[in-house]
Amino acid sequence: MQSRQVLTLDDARAIAAAAEAEAKANNWAVTIAVVDDGGHLLWLQRLDNAAPISAHIAPAKARTAALGRRETKVYEDMINNGRVSFLSAPEFEGMLEGGVPVIVNGHCAGAVGVSGVKSSEDVQIARAGIAALKI
């Protein structure tokens, strides 16, 4: 039998706090979502002045990163490079840069999705959140 690491509520809080600090340090109004390895929402935080749609996009990015076990930029690039048939992949709604998996000992424990600013800035915030876990 195999054992695996899972994100706890405390982990989700730590990720969210560090992600929020990164966003606020840059004056970015975003929504931050943390999901488990099955893409189930553990945490959703919409900062003041973040666009309402970001509360839908951030969890979709996180879910896609968790289920796909890779950053969502991979899917965005795939589609932009002509593989548009991938748009029909089931359960993948957030195929925009900004979803980052949480990898522990080579296994996906969950993911973080951020929406509200440039995609590269969304990723910066997500990675800052994950870095709080010191894994």
Q: Report yes or no on whether pTM surpasses 0.75.
A: yes
* pLDDT reported for residue 117: 98
Rg (alpha carbons) of the chain, rounded to whole number: 14
Q: Which residues pair with 33 in a beta bridge?
A: 44, 113
Does residue 4 register a pLDDT over 90? no
pLDDT, tens only, 34-63:
999 999 999 999 999 999 999 999 999 999
Does residue 86 register a pLDDT over 90? no
**Which secondary structure element, helix H or strand E, spans residue 32, and what is its range?**
strand 31-36
pLDDT, tens only, 63-76:
999 999 999 999 99
* pLDDT reported for residue 91: 86
